[in-house]
Amino acid sequence: MPLVGTGAIVAPAAHAGHGVGAFNVIQLEHAQAIVAGAEDAGAPVILQISENAARYHGGLGAIGLATLAVARAARVPVAVHLDHATDDDLVHEAVELGFTSVMYDASVLPYEENVRATEAITAHCHAAGVWVEAELGEVGGKDGVHAPGVRTDPGQAAAFVAATGVDALAVAVGTAHAMLTRDAALDFGLIRKLRTAVPVPLVLHGSSGVADEELTAAVGHGMTKVNLATHLNRVFTTAAREVLAGDPSLVDTRRYLGAGRAAMAGEVTRLLGVLKAAEASVPSGR
């Protein structure tokens, strides 16, 4: 199955009323695990590389090209997405490398500046056939702060999408990034209002902090693209740590990274089932 456009995965899911998993890649093993898990689930998936991950690797090129190669060899539809980019040059590089979408995050700017910056990036990406996600409101966690006052306003969200032309919108509805516990309290009423007001698919960031049943409910109320990173990293690291603890003399990195990869693949398969579970209870075309 060749690399596909992100819109080709997200749009049908939004119409059918089920969720799409968008999982973050840090090492090559992450990309391999996510695709293996998606193949076992028989479901499409989005591989995401964040600006922070690109910085860790000293640039986007090496990890980006490796991830694209994994996507192109997959047996299910796979898209490759640049996540949480604040640097215009990094967005341009992702487009040149062949990424199928970018998430441009100017949410920390005042509203009018966010609109101007996002509109310019969207025009550049659309000229290359690249799908664009943006953020309105502030999904907390990176700075340790997440207050109810920063949640996304439905009217402003609709105006923002109209002004910028973005293809999807990440909204603040009660999650936070980098949560190690799965007890985030989502505002389902706000999700419904946003789904009614906003004409493009909605994106849930910080989903690692959301329990399975809440993820299914979030999709049922109107979320489509669901981003997870920290939870899968914990699964990977736990498996690797167990192998290392069982053999203090182990030096072959393939032994413990392989265990992490296998554990992560299994969790990806399970999570994709959780996201699809809402499909039967949501009217088509919601």
What angle do the packed helices 88-97 and 111-127 form, to 10 degrees? Answer: 20
Three state DSSP letters for the chain? CCECCHHHHHHHHHHHCCCEEEEECCCHHHHHHHHHHHHHHCCCEEEEEEHHHHHHCCCCHHHHHHHHHHHHCCCCCEEEEEEEECCHHHHHHHHHHCCCEEEECCCCCCHHHHHHHHHHHHHHHHHCCCEEEEEECCCECCCCCCCHHHCCCHHHHHHHHHHHCCCEEEECCCCECCCCCCCCCCCHHHHHHHHHHCCCCEEECCHHHCCHHHHHHHHHHCEEEEEECHHHHHHHHHHHHHHHHHCCCCCCHHHHHHHHHHHHHHHHHHHHHHHHCCHHHCCCCC
Q: Who wins on pLDDT, 47 or 286?
A: 47
| Per-residue pLDDT reduced to its tens digit, 168-184 | 999 988 655 544 455 56
Residue 157 lies in a domain: yes
Catalytic residue among 40, 83, 88, 187: 83
Judged by average pLDDT, the poorest of 15-19, 87-91, 179-183, 220-224 is 179-183
Residue 249 scores a pLDDT above 90 = yes
Active site residue 83: yes
pLDDT at residue 176, rounded to an integer? 56
Taking only Cα atoms into account, the Rg of the chain, rounded to an integer number of angstroms, comes to: 18
pLDDT at residue 208, rounded to an integer? 74
Rounded Cα distance, 98 and 2, in Å? 13
Residue 1 lies in a domain: no
Residue 194 lies in a domain: yes
* Domains in the chain, number: 1
Residue 237 scores a pLDDT above 50 = yes
Domain that holds residue 22: 6-281
What separation in angstroms does the CA of 176 have from each of 25, 104, 185, 191? 19, 18, 10, 15
CATH code of the domain in which 139 resides: 3.20.20.70
pLDDT at residue 20, rounded to an integer? 96
Nearest Cα residue to 47 out of 60, 38, 55, 56: 38
Rounded Cα distance, 136 and 224, in Å? 16
pLDDT at residue 143, rounded to an integer? 43
| Per-residue pLDDT reduced to its tens digit, 84-132 | 999 999 999 999 999 999 999 998 888 999 999 999 999 999 999 999 9
pLDDT at residue 138, rounded to an integer? 54
Residue 55 scores a pLDDT above 90 = yes
Rounded Cα distance, 185 and 188, in Å? 9
pLDDT at residue 277, rounded to an integer? 74
Residue 286 lies in a domain: no
In contact, 66 and 58? CB cutoff 8 Å:
no
| Per-residue pLDDT reduced to its tens digit, 129-186 | 999 999 886 554 444 334 445 778 999 999 999 999 999 999 988 655 544 455 566 8
pLDDT at residue 266, rounded to an integer? 98
Residue 69 scores a pLDDT above 70 = yes
